[in-house]
Amino acid sequence: MAAIKHRRTALERVEKFLSDTYFTDCNLRGRLFGDRCPPASLSCLQTPRRIPYQEAVAQQFGPAQVGESFGPTWETCWFKVELSIPPAWAGREVHFVWESDGEGMVWRDAQPVQGLTKEGEKTSYILTRSLKESEPHSLTLYVELACNGLFGAGKGSMIAPPDPDRRVTLSKAELVVFNRDVYELLVDLEILLDMAQLLGEENQRSFQALYTANQMVNVCDVTDPSTFPAARDLAAAIFSQRNGESQHTIHAMGHCHIDSAWLWPYEETIRKCARSWVTVVHLMEHNPELTFACSQAQQFQWVRSCYPGLYARIQHLAAKGQFIPVGGTWVEMDGNLPSGESMVRQFLQGQRFFQEQFGRICTEFWLPDTFGYSAQLPQLMRGSGIRRFLTQKLSWNLVNSFPHHTFFWEGIDGSQVLTHFPPGDSYGMQGRVAEVLKTVKNNKDKGRVNHSAFLFGFGDGGGGPTQKMLDRMKRMRDTDGLPRVQISTPDQLFSVLEKESSQLCTWVGELFLELHNGTYTTQAQIKKGNRECERILHDVEVLSSLAVAQDSAFQYPASQLQQLWRLLLLNQFHDVLPGSCIQLVVEDALQYYTEIRRAGAQLQEEAVQCLCRDLLQPQACSTHSSLVLNTLAWERTEVIASPGPGGTETLALVTVPSMGYALVQEPFVPPQPVAVRKQEDGSITMENGVIAVCLDTMGRLTSLQLLDSGRESVPDGCYANQFALFDDVPLYWDAWDVMDYHLQTRKPVTTLLKPLEITLAGGLRGSVSFSLQVGKSSTLTQEIILDAMCPYLRFLTQVEWKEAHKFLKVEFPVQVRSTNATYEIQFGHMQRPTHWNTSWDWARFEVWAHKWLDLSEHGFGVALLNDCKYGASAHRNVLSLSLLRAPKSPDATADIGHHQFTYAVMPHQGSFQEAGVIQQAYNLNFPLHVVPASRAQCPAWSAFSVSSPAIVLEAVKQAEDRPEAVVVRLYEAHGSTVTAWLQTPLPVKEAMLCDLLERPLAQGHLPLEQQGLRLSFTPFRVLSVLLVWSH
């Protein structure tokens, strides 16, 4: 009899037939499992440590039972599960089912075999597909259970701080008979039901799917499996109806995004990798077509160290092309805050690891979840052997919808990379009909390209693909009405996109995420640790390289530096450096910075001892002098403080040559000493012949003049160095987001605790200090310092911060008119508007910068420099630096405590390029090193210098594979085309250009000329030069 034309009843009839809630006594879902049987015995060992298997199984286990709870949070329970399969189950498929709120791992024969996590839809481990008499019926498994969920242990919400007392319940542990025929029928019906619902009433295919599903329910007697094949044949008839040639092709790839730390500590991530990856390996054994794209060299290194058996299997599957390393970086790092050199090292360490371990470098950069992408990344990718880029995070934009899914992305130097955003706007697909339809419908490049990526698998906390996801997609391989779905690889996808790329658009400049802009400021101690450790490693490398050049017996500390760099790179992971992680992770990160500082100081001392040995030897009649070292590639004249007798500090004005050293002899007298004068109204003036400032009793600048031109920087009636406090309550993502509306809550900080007073009266250095109360219970103390001959005024700031949901900024209104401000980024700078004309403009109400930002009109400007801050903004004529936030999730203690940081203001004539703003910002971040010396006389020495102020020599390091060579990295910083000479007195016998992986470039040989090495730059170009020593 024909079915009555009632769409709703037919749809709901099929839904109920599949439901795991309704009518399970008589529907198909209720037949998925047959007989059940409890374990023969269950025992448990609980430990606060994450202990290895061998250590765990050697200990005494106590009795345990289903229904018990275990904990608290972050503890580990090991379960010994003894199983005995009933002989009556012969010929049946038998699963071990385990359900708990924690993350589990099954161990069998001393090897990890599968992850078991309810949130990742992995609750059963297949013991046998068809029980044979010859198979063992009794066996022992161990289950390692972490007392935390896939997303940590947030109290009340996912991103809340972890509940320290959460307990996980073991709700199921049993043997079951699994009815594979029921499962296959359920997947058939699920796909047909989704097609019926989602293809819409105007689509005939929707009705074909619906009536087929309805007929399958008619045919199917759930108590009689012999009726199932006929039902399955009906489904197969629909699935085998093919698409036309024009249909879109989806390239499906297994994926498992694992945050290297986030709502759980680094140590737990190691186990997350093992749980997720062993599950993938297990799936590949039964699904040889499955591919899996996997990023982050650090995670491979963890598994290599802790799970060598699993790692060997991964290497084997990688060689077969199934387990595919992608990304090319050490971790999936933040895309905004790491320095240019740090980003180079992400690629250098990552690509070298993949080359060593898997015999090839990665060809695509993979950064799906990072909070924005610097406009310097395309050049760094190209220099690291990568021309392709995949992400999807810009789909999170709060204001503007990004206009492309497949396009060319062009960086500030003109480098281009082919970029693809999976149009389904996710990296955690589950192989559902709705997702493949969204992928096609949402694609913003229809008619230009006809292929797109589909990354399937549970992610963020790990998990990865499941068998069910694969089985869904098998049915959608080529079914009329749905896009084609093929298991593919990143290389296959990008290869077809390259062939189709002639019509693609180009996006120039940064990929700015219009969300999460609080991450430029959250967890200020992590930001400070990052900037300081970048400096320390730079200095150690420069000084160690020079020591080797001077004395070939000196051992360059290559392995220690690699270890320290890897710690720094790990902390640049996109939930650590941005500050969006729990307190446990913050503690680990700060500990790593402490380790880098400690080891770095020691390595630096060893390099200086070798480099300057003759000058440091104590001699009988020695005079006390100071040796001053400069690790930057330009001459510097600055005031230094060296330790004097009885614990005092002695100031001296010194000139130190480019990347070299000088001995401080006769005190150098400045052409004009610093003068500090108190006025009758309590205000104080300071001047040094370059700039003159006037400060009111609250430390605010009422005047900032360039003495040469008499040009005033502060507008009439305005105050610069004005602190302002904002309410900072985002919509959800607390540590991540600062919302546009926070700007409406501005309150100037005006409660004076200690009025301005003179602390150094002048000469080589003048300073004044004051204290303010900030908010309800915080205090801020500032010393404002002006040095002889220095073009900037610096603000040494100490804050005792005790606020909740407040944002502290400092503002500098300036007498400059410009529609754009300039911000330093990696190896260059970029402009952003100072107006809010369009939604694209106002969405950037809070942006990021590195060491400086500048607002200039023709002939004059003002720059703000800093030593550890990243958040900034420039609206109309106000430059603002973001100092501290106080979010409460996921770390309730974020930023509470003591902070010290320095920023500076520098008015200048001409452009910021001509005025040397870039060099001054480096000087602020890379202080001169002062070492007690014993010689009174010694000529100044310079190891490297560059003939053009447009060129910054960023790094000098030993070449990775050639101890007799160094790599010198330089970049064009002004945005100009320029030829420059690199000069060195060191014994160089050969020079050549190389890429960022230190591979020599074709036609890269450089002749050694009298003036040095001649180098040609276009705007913002990064060049790496390999120099081979002649000794």
- Does an H or E element contain 272, and which? helix 266-286
Residue whose token pair is 């999460």: 516
Half-sphere exposure (Cβ direction) of 274: Cα atoms closer than 13 Å: 29
Task: Reduce the DSSP state of residue 864 to 3 states and report it.
Answer: strand
Q: Which long-range contacts (CB under 8 A, 24 or more apart) does 750-756 make?
A: 750/698, 752/697, 752/698, 753/779, 754/781, 755/682, 755/697, 755/698, 756/682, 756/683, 756/684, 756/695, 756/696, 756/697, 756/698, 756/699
Q: Name the strands in the sheet holding 965-972, side by side, starting at the edge strand that comes first in the sequence.
A: 951-958, 965-972, 1022-1029, 988-994, 1000-1006
Question: Tokens representing 812?
Answer: 């500098």
Cβ proximity of 370 and 260 under 8 Å: no
DSSP 8-state class, residue 741: G
Beta strands in 38-120 (DSSP E): 41-47, 62-63, 69-70, 76-84, 93-100, 103-108, 111-116
According to DSSP H, which parts of 862-1004 are helical?
Answer: 912-915, 917-925
- Cα–Cα distance measured from residue 611 to residue 628, given in angstroms and rounded to the nearest whole number: 12
Q: Give CA 243 to chain center in angstroms.
A: 41
ω into 72 cis (within 30 of 0): yes
Question: Tokens representing 444?
Answer: 């913003």
- Cα–Cα distance measured from residue 714 to residue 814, given in angstroms and rounded to the nearest whole number: 5
Q: What angle do CA 371, 374, 380 make, to 5 degrees?
A: 125
Q: Are strands 33-37 and 69-70 parallel, antiparallel or unpaired?
A: unpaired
CA proximity to 723, closest of 863, 875, 880? 880
- Cα–Cα distance measured from residue 545 to residue 548, given in angstroms and rounded to the nearest whole number: 5
ω into 730 cis (within 30 of 0): no
Residue 780: Cβ within 10 Å count: 24
Name residue 385's amino acid: G
369 has catalytic annotation? yes
Q: At what angle do helices 7-18 and 204-219 cross, to 10 degrees?
A: 50
Residue 468: Cβ within 10 Å count: 15
Question: Tokens representing 542?
Answer: 């420069």
CA proximity to 329, closest of 276, 270, 386, 405? 386
Q: Are strands 388-390 and 364-366 parallel, antiparallel or unpaired?
A: parallel
- Cα–Cα distance measured from residue 882 to residue 198, given in angstroms and rounded to the nearest whole number: 47
Q: At what angle do helices 558-571 and 524-550 cross, to 10 degrees?
A: 160
Q: What angle do CA 883, 587, 773 make, to 5 degrees?
A: 30
Half-sphere exposure (Cβ direction) of 365: Cα atoms closer than 13 Å: 30
Residues 6+ apart with CB under 8 A from 56: 45, 47, 78, 142, 144
First-to-last C-alpha distance (Å) of the chain: 95
CA proximity to 537, closest of 627, 598, 578, 589? 598
ω into 890 cis (within 30 of 0): yes
| Catalytic, out of 101, 259, 369, 867 | 369
Q: What angle do CA 624, 627, 633 make, to 5 degrees?
A: 165
- Cα–Cα distance measured from residue 181 to residue 28, given in angstroms and rounded to the nearest whole number: 11
Residue 647: Cβ within 10 Å count: 6
Q: What is the DSSP string of 198-238?
A: HS-TT-HHHHHHHHHHHHHHHH--TT-GGGHHHHHHHHHHH
- Report the catalytic residues: 369
